[in-house]
């Protein structure tokens, strides 16, 4: 499998009528996760989140691809 | 400053209560609307079209002053069509569908509001709010049911249980009137909300925006342009829109720690605009300021929109930040939802409980509007360093990666809510594809009718409708035609329109020819499929075959008569 960079967010069982809604649901939850955290705490939360998601994805070739894209742009 | 617009001054007339010496009371009306902004005017026109006499009170004598609403969305235009006023608006306004978003120097994303062909109205028009109101006033003045009273200031309101009593102040003194129902459309500050001691809850965004209307000749395409962190206004956002008469709307985000009075001064504003135009066109372009203001925005709503005999609509009931153009657009949808219900209640064919569903349905819609405009505001003005990092990461990825483009949020522009949770819907019992679920506002499509209608939405509205699909309209059998005739003769009439590829329906039934097959496609029609449509062009129920008993049950449910 290769890295999927097309829109891919959904909520099981939820019907969306507007294309922008699932991505916005995700983004709001992401920003909410950081509410009231200091910058340092946020950085730690982000690191933990990446580790959890990386394990969930599992396929290290996909992860390497994502890491490459992430690093290239900064 | 230069003015491209001559503000009309509407004439105050001595109200009949004062002229006839009935200042103390006696005047009793079925409906009074307070506030002749876009929402109150729309409500009054809609009531008049439903044959309800209405008194419309406004404490001013002109249209909206300065820079306010610009973008009117497809659904609002479809409602204006139903009220007979969209044509002028679309003719004067600037139609557009494409929005472009820039991050620093580069375009990262663009969207098309109306990617599907074969809709009557465009995704959006841009039109100064004063024109919108001027056209609505003209329409209202042409309707004999509307008694429009300028410079009539409502100073007291009390709900008497079986009626509402109002005290109104004029240059000739004060007078009292009574009404069965009061539609409150007196704007964001809503004096009536205060008089009734009612709360509105939400939050104010800690940011200021410079809103400039500028007159200039420019050949930029008619698109919405939004910049995040542009070189000419670093770390902030800028929005550009074309309006009628070569007037351009420019919004500059300023941050919280600026002095609004100072920022409004031409010597501050002009260099900002010059920097922007210079960056874009690389040339000196002549322009003049038409209007400049500095705004802060809030997102809040009342807990309920019905309070006894008072029905709150528009900004009086809810306010959003303007990035989704969801203010007037949603207020207009409030009255679209309210008026047919009020008409049935006034007629005695539906219980007052139907008006609670106005609140339920429009509170749900307001929450969707608040959610979307809050999300846009949070994306545009991040509240923490982490939030800003994520925002800039999204913008940085957007150029190359489609998933990130979908996350770019420079305003989710007004689209109508699908009222999926409404108690007025009859849930599906059969399988349908597509989005025309119970509670959905109808999708438009080209048609041809014997009455000359060219669009499906022109054929719908202002009454309950049964759309019945039959490839050859002449094939509708006698028993079905009789059942439809009986539906049309009920206490709440349901008119049947046969959606067909060809032929003419039996007498008493209308025919819509689905000229491009879009109705079939968008509504997943098969022979025998029927849709029950509300007077506000929302789907109430649908079936794969016509059973008059089921239609009656769904009609009862949609009108709280079940
Ligand atoms: C900068 C800006 C940009 C915007 N852009 C958009 C946009 O692009 N699209 C959009 O849809 N919306 C937009 N809006 C929002 C839009 O302007 C409002 O949502 C809209 O005007 C609300 O209409 P209304 O009829 O509810 O209230 P108002 O327009 O506020 O009208 C209320 C009326 O009530 C009258 N009144 C008040 N008190 C009394 C009283 N006691 N007695 C009698 N009369 C009274 C007032 O004189 C006024 O005429 C924008 C707003 C701003 C500020």
Mean pLDDT of B11-33: 94
Cβ separation A5–B401 shorter than 8 A: yes
What residues does ligand 1 touch, defined as CB less than 6 Å away? B 34-40, 57-60, 64, 67-71, 129, 153-154, 185-188, 191, 211, 295, 314-316, 322, 325, 327-329, 331
Residues of A in Cβ contact (< 8 Å) with B372: 24
Measured in angstroms, the CA of A72 and the nearest CA of chain B are apart by: 10
User: Which chain B positions have a beta carbon within 8 Å of A74's beta carbon?
Assistant: 396
pLDDT band at B218 (very low <50, low <70, confident <90, very high): confident
Task: Write out the DSSP string of B462-489.
Answer: SSEEEEEE-SBGGG--HHHHHHHHHHHT
Cβ contact (<8 Å) for B390 and A37?
A: no
Tell me how far apart the terminal alpha carbons of chain A are, to the nearest angstrom. 25
pTM score, two decimals?
0.96
Model confidence band, residue B26 (pLDDT cutoffs 50, 70, 90):
confident
- Contact (Cβ atoms closer than 8 angstroms) between residue B305 and residue B358: yes
Which residue does chain B place closest to A44, by CA atoms?
B386
Across the range B99-127, mean pLDDT stands at 91
Which residues from chain B sit within 8 angstroms of residue A19, using beta carbons?
406
Per the CB < 8 A criterion, the answer to whether B228 and B101 are in contact is: yes
Write down the pLDDT at residue B281. Answer: 67
Mean pLDDT of B276-280: 81
Distance CA B277, CA B255 (A): 21
Inter-chain CB proximity B403 and A8 less than 8 Å: yes
pLDDT digits (tens, 9 = 90+) for B136-181: 999 999 999 999 999 999 999 999 999 999 999 999 999 999 999 9
pLDDT of amino acid B285: 80
Residue pair B45/B81 in contact by the 8 Å Cβ criterion: no
Looking at residue B211, its pLDDT comes to 96
pLDDT at A1: 72
**Whole-number average pLDDT of chain B:** 95
What does the pLDDT read at residue B1?
Answer: 65
Residues 6+ apart with CB under 8 A from B293: B66, B67, B210, B211, B264
Instruction: State whether residue B373 sits within 8 Å of chain A by CB.
Output: no
Kindly tell me if the per-residue pLDDT of B485 is higher than 90. yes
User: Do A5 and B379 lie within an 8 Å CB cutoff?
Assistant: no
Q: Cα of B81 to ligand 1 centre, how many Å?
A: 21
Distances in Å between the Cα of B79 and the Cα atoms of B74, B286, B320, B329 are 9, 38, 21, 10
| pLDDT tens per residue, range B499-520 | 999 999 999 899 999 999 999 9
Distance from CA of A12 to the nearest CA of B (A): 17
> Does A31 reach chain B within 8 Å, measured CB to CB?
yes
Contact predicate B294/B210, CB 8 Å:
yes
Mean pLDDT, residues B48-63: 97
| B415–A27 C-beta distance less than 8 A | no
| Distances in whole angstroms, Cα of residue B323 to Cα of each of B189, B331, B373, B411 | 20, 15, 6, 5
pLDDT tens digit string along B397-453? Answer: 999 999 999 999 999 999 999 999 999 999 999 999 999 999 999 999 999 998 899
CB pairs under 8 A between A and B: 60
Please indicate whether residue B277 or residue B334 has the higher confidence score (pLDDT): B334
What is the residue extent of each domain of chain B?
A: 16-94+126-200+301-372, 448-558
Kindly report, residue by residue over B282-297, the tens digit of the pLDDT: 667 889 999 999 999 9
Average pLDDT of B126-145?
A: 97
Residue A5 has pLDDT above 80, yes or no: yes
**Tokens coding A42:** 């946020």
Q: B414 at the A interface (CB within 8 A)?
A: no
Where residue A39 falls among pLDDT bands split at 50, 70, 90? Answer: very high
pLDDT band at B323 (very low <50, low <70, confident <90, very high): confident
Contacts of B271 (CB under 8 A, 6+ apart): none
Separation of CA B87 and ligand 1 centre (Å): 22
Q: Which residue of B has its CA nearest to A70?
A: B397
pLDDT over 70 percentage in chain B: 99
- Of B326, B384, B439, which to mutate for an interface test with A (greatest number of A Cβ within 10 Å)? B384
Partner-chain contact A6 B372, CB within 8 Å: no
pLDDT band for position B21 (cuts 50, 70, 90): very high
Residue in A41, A64, A45, A43 with CA at minimum distance from that of residue A54 = A64
Would the pLDDT of B454 be above 80?
A: yes
Query: Per-residue pLDDT for B205 more than 90?
Result: no
- Of all residues in chain A, the one with the smallest CA distance to B374 is A28
Q: Assign B471 a pLDDT band (cuts: 50, 70, 90).
A: very high
Residue B54 binned pLDDT confidence (cut-offs 50, 70, 90): very high
Q: Is the CATH number 3.40.30.10 carried by domain B448-558?
A: yes
Domain B16-94+126-200+301-372 belongs to what architecture? 3-Layer(bba) Sandwich (3.50)
Over residues B230-259, the pLDDT tens digits come to 999 999 999 999 999 999 999 999 999 999
Residues sharing a CB contact under 8 Å with residue B5, sequence separation 6 or more, in sequence order: B128, B130, B131, B245
B395, closest residue in chain A (CA to CA)? A73
- Does the distance separating the beta carbons of A7 and B403 come in below 8 Å? yes
Which of the four pLDDT bands, split at 50, 70 and 90, describes residue A25? Answer: very high
Q: Which of A2, A5, A50 to mutate to test the interface with B (most CBs of B within 10 A)?
A: A5
Q: Does A34 touch chain B (CB under 8 A)?
A: yes
């Amino acid at each position: 499998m290769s890295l999927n960079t097309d829109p891919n967010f959904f909520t099981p069982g939820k019907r969306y009528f507007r294309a922008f809604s699932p991505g916005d649901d995700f983004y709001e939850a992401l920003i909410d996760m950081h509410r009231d955290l200091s910058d340092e705490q946020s950085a730690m939360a982000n690191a933990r989140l990446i580790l959890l998601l990386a394990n969930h994805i599992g396929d290290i070739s996909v992860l390497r691809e994502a890491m490459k894209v992430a690093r290239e742009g900064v | 400053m230069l003015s491209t617009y001559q503000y009309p001054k509407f004439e105050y007339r001595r109200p009949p209560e004062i002229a006839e010496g009935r200042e103390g009371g006696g005047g009793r009306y079925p409906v009074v609307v307070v506030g002749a902004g876009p929402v109150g005017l729309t409500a009054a026109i809609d009531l008049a079209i439903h044959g309800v006499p209405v008194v419309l009170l406004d404490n001013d004598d002109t249209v909206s002053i300065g820079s306010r609403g610009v973008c009117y969305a497809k659904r609002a235009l479809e409602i204006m069509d139903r009220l007979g006023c969209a044509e002028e608006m679309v003719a004067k306004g600037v139609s557009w569908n494409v929005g472009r978003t820039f991050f620093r120097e580069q375009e990262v994303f663009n969207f098309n509001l109306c990617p599907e062909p074969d809709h009557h109205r465009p995704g959006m028009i841009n039109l100064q709010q004063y024109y919108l109101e001027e056209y609505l006033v003209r329409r209202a003045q042409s309707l004999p049911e509307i008694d429009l009273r300028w410079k009539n200031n409502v100073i007291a309101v009390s709900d008497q249980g079986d009626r509402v009593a109002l005290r109104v102040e004029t240059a000739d003194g004060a007078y009292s009137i009574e009404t069965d129902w009061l539609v409150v459309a007196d704007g964001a500050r809503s004096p009536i909300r205060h008089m009734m001691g009612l709360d509105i809850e939400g939050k104010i965004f800690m940011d200021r925006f410079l809103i400039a209307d500028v007159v200039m000749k420019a050949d930029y395409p008619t698109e919405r342009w939004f910049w995040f962190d542009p070189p000419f206004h670093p770390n902030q956002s800028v929005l550009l829109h074309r309006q009628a008469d070569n007037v351009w709307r420019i919004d500059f985000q300023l941050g919280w720690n600026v002095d609004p009075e100072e920022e409004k001064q031409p010597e501050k504003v002009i260099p900002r605009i010059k920097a922007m135009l210079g960056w874009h066109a690389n040339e000196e372009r002549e322009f003049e300021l038409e209007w400049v203001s500095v705004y802060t925005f809030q997102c809040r709503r009342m807990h309920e929109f019905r309070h006894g005999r008072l029905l709150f609509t528009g900004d009086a009931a809810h306010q959003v930040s303007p990035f989704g153009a969801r203010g007037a657009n949603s207020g207009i949808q409030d009255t679209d939802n309210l008026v047919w219900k009020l008409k049935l209640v006034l007629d005695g064919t539906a219980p007052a409980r139907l008006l609670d569903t106005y609140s339920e349905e429009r509170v749900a819609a307001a929450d969707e509007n608040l959610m979307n405009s809050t999300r846009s505001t949070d994306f545009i003005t991040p509240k923490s360093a982490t939030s800003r990092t994520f925002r800039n990461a999204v913008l940085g990825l957007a150029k190359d990666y489609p998933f990130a483009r979908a996350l770019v949020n420079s305003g989710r522009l007004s689209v109508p809510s699908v009222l999926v949770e409404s108690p007025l819907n009859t849930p599906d019992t059969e399988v349908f594809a597509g989005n025309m679920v119970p509670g959905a506002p109808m999708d438009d499509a080209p048609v041809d009718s014997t009455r000359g209608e060219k669009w499906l939405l022109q054929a719908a509205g202002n009454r309950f409708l049964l759309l019945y699909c039959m490839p050859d309209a002449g094939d509708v059998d006698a028993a079905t035609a009789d059942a439809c005739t009986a539906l049309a003769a009920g206490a709440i009439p349901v008119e049947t329109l046969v959606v067909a590829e060809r032929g003419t329906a039996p007498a008493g039934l209308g025919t819509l020819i689905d000229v491009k097959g879009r109705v079939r496609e968008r509504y997943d029609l098969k022979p025998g499929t029927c849709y029950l449509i509300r007077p506000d062009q929302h789907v109430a129920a649908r079936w794969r075959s016509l059973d008059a008993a089921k239609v009656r049950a769904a009609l009862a449910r949609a009108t709280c008569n079940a």
